Amino acid sequence: MGSGANKQVPTFYGPKASQRPRSPTQTDNPMAIKTVDMDRLAAMTGNLYESVSILSKRSRQISTNVKNELDDKLAYFEGFEQELEDPRFQEEQTKVSIEYEVKPEPTEMAVNEMLAGDVYFRKPTEEDQELFL
């Protein structure tokens, strides 16, 4: 008798993968990476580096705004020490957190805004540069 003849296959209990509840961050597309037309971004400013710099700054602005919104909404729950044990209260707090987890990343939002033409930027003039010297 070989050691592999009586080997048992482990049994997994619970719903099949297709029946499991999906987390809010999962997407229908298994490959959620989107390509960005870098030539189009470079054409908007005339230089790819400037476009990336603008996107970086806009992404930071969006990230800061989203974080401030989340902090403001979660600040509501700070004064309720005993009530935090109440399941309804925890559910409300979880809903707020999940709402922000589902939102797209700030970089993705910045790229979409730039491609849609919603980002305002300008090149500094010589007068502006002299102010900083």
pLDDT in tens, 92-127: 878 888 888 888 899 999 999 999 989 888 877 777
Distance CA 80, CA 48 (A): 50
Kindly report the backbone phi and psi dihedral angles of residue 129, in degrees, each rounded to the nearest multiple of 5, phi listed first: -70, -35
Confidence at 88, pLDDT banded by 50, 70, 90: confident
Task: Give residue 2's pLDDT.
Answer: 52
Is residue 87 scored above 50 in pLDDT?
Answer: yes
Is pTM, for the whole model, over 0.75? no
Q: Is the Cβ–Cβ distance between 77 and 124 less than 8 Å? A: no
